[in-house]
């Protein structure tokens, strides 16, 4: 028996006679994200152990398994869970993203999860391309506005809003209203349709034995069958190659929309929101292969022009310990854009900061790398700087301060230690 498991965003669904998973283990596994440990019934356990407990019941007695995961999962998380499932079964398992199963050529696909709305579009070959990620960090109406603004030109839309996701149904209704008003046609795939798309095809019944034939007729028929088979394989080969789901190539970009800022980041990097602890509220966008490489994205409301912002930043840096912030340049250019730049030095990492002024919005982009290894992140940093812009659909949320101080890793308006733990 083949068991199809839909993993996340808010539970594990494995119908068709499979045993129900332990909801406590499921919650612990999903809430862990990419952290190595998680909390399971007041106990700290390895995230891998939580996944074993969560997947054990639905996979018990299965001959094969197909895992369906949210499209926003980074590759390393998919590999971890697939490896655990393979260990439980004793054989490899198949994995598919929701987008790979639901996408149709030329259709927009919206996936609503607990933290964001993922926007992708079906490609002519049958795959999909991630276009944008709109974070759910504000009023649902503003999120719906941002999603609608990102879908251009109008066209057919598949709206995937799993019911267990908190607030998904209400947000989906708002999005649907705005999209239909803008000329889109919207349909909502059912959970059953998702699982059916993941299920392996049923083998056709065996043909009845052929009646005996004379040798000459048999040889002629055999040649025709071989020729037909060769033609079918030749014709099908490019189609098969085009429709097999593939992870995005390293460095492929997707647009991340957070608050009032849209910015291009690598599609396979992990996004995490930081709103507490030392340093400024920010997004951390981390490389899946090199933990030293990371983007930090901050934003603030400000009425100051670039000269005034540079003057404020100069004073803020002067108040910090000597040698931490260096190479301050008030009239620099990065990715052919006017900017304020400086470097933040921490043990084991350097962060090259680029501060952009977009009207009344200040955008800070920190490009982190190991000391002396800037070339590894330069292309990612340039793409982020070149693409960063105000969305015009919302102001930064209350988690982003409105002070005249530019956003950085250090809390320049407070007497706190300017440290950061990646």
Percent of the chain at pLDDT exceeding 90: 39
Q: What's the CATH code of the domain at 182?
A: 3.30.420.60
Cβ partners under 8 Å of residue 67, min gap 6: 5, 7, 81, 82, 85, 93, 94, 95, 96
- Residues β-bridged to residue 333: 338
Residue 211 lies in a domain: no
Same domain, 85 and 120: no
- Kindly tell me if the per-residue pLDDT of 339 is higher than 50: yes
Residue 410 lies in a domain: no
* Distance between CA atoms of residues 372 and 349, nearest Å: 9
* pLDDT tens figures, 124-148: 877 788 888 998 988 899 999 999 9
H or E segment and range at residue 325? strand 325-334
- Kindly tell me if the per-residue pLDDT of 413 is higher than 50: no
- Kindly tell me if the per-residue pLDDT of 384 is higher than 50: yes
Residue 177 lies in a domain: yes
* pLDDT tens figures, 47-67: 999 999 999 999 998 888 999
Cα atoms in the Cβ-side hemisphere of radius 13 Å centred on 103: 26
Pick the closest to residue 409 from 399, 421, 398 (CA basis).
Answer: 421
Same domain, 82 and 107: no
Cα atoms in the Cβ-side hemisphere of radius 13 Å centred on 129: 11
H or E segment and range at residue 7? strand 2-7
DSSP 140-172: HHHHHHHHHHH--S--EEEEE--TTSTTHHHHH
Same domain, 332 and 385: yes
Residue 416 lies in a domain: no
> DSSP E strands: which ranges in 33-93?
37-40, 43-46, 64-69
Residue-number span of the structural domain to which 279 is assigned: 253-390
Residue 349 lies in a domain: yes
Same domain, 138 and 166: yes
Phi and psi at residue 75, to the nearest 5°:
-55, -35
Number of domains in the chain: 3
- Kindly tell me if the per-residue pLDDT of 2 is higher than 60: yes
Same domain, 382 and 262: yes
Same domain, 279 and 357: yes
Bridge pairing between strands 94-97 and 64-69: parallel
Domain boundary among 194, 211, 229: 194
* Distance between CA atoms of residues 71 and 306, nearest Å: 38
* pLDDT tens figures, 167-205: 999 999 999 999 999 999 999 988 878 878 887 765 444
């Amino acid at each position: 028996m083949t068991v199809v498991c839909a993993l996340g965003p808010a539970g594990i669904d494995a119908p068709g006679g499979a045993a129900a998973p332990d909801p406590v283990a499921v919650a612990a596994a999903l809430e862990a994200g990419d952290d190595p440990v998680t909390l399971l019934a007041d106990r700290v356990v390895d995230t891998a152990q939580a996944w074993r407990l969560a997947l054990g019941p639905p996979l018990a007695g299965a001959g094969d398994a197909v895992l369906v995961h949210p499209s926003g999962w980074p590759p390393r998380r998919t590999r971890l869970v697939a490896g655990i499932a393979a260990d439980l079964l004793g054989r490899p398992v198949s994995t598919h993203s929701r987008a790979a199963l639901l996408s149709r050529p030329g259709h927009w696909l919206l996936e609503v999860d607990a933290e964001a709305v993922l926007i992708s579009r079906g490609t002519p070959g049958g795959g999909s391309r991630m276009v944008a990620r709109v974070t759910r960090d504000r009023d649902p109406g503003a999120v719906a506005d941002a999603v609608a603004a990102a879908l251009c030109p109008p066209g057919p839309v598949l709206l995937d809003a799993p019911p267990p996701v908190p607030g998904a149904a209400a947000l989906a209704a708002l999005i649907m209203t705005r999209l239909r008003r803008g000329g889109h046609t919207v349909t909502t795939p059912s959970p059953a349709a998702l699982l059916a798309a993941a299920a392996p095809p049923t083998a056709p019944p065996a043909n009845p034995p052929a009646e005996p034939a004379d040798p000459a007729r048999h040889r002629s028929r055999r040649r025709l069958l071989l020729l037909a088979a060769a033609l079918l394989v030749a014709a099908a080969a490019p189609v098969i190659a085009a429709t097999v789901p593939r992870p995005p190539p390293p460095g492929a970009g997707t647009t991340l929309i957070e608050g009032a800022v849209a910015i291009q980041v690598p599609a396979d990097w992990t996004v995490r929101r930081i709103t507490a602890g030392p340093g400024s509220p920010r997004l951390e966008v981390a490389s899946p292969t090199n933990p030293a490489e990371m983007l930090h994205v901050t934003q603030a409301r400000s009425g100051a022009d670039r000269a005034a912002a540079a003057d404020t930043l100069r004073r803020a840096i002067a108040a910090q310990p000597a040698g931490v912030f260096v190479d301050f340049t008030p009239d620099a250019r990065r990715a052919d854009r006017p900017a304020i730049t400086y470097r933040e030095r921490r043990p084991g990492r350097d962060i090259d900061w680029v501060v952009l002024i977009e009207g009344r919005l200040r955008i800070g982009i920190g490009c982190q790398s190991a000391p002396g290894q800037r070339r590894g992140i330069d292309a990612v940093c340039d793409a982020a700087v070149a693409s960063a812009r105000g969305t015009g659909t919302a102001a930064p949320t209350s988690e982003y301060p409105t002070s005249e101080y530019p956003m950085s890793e250090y809390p320049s308006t407070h007497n706190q230690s300017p440290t950061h733990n990646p």
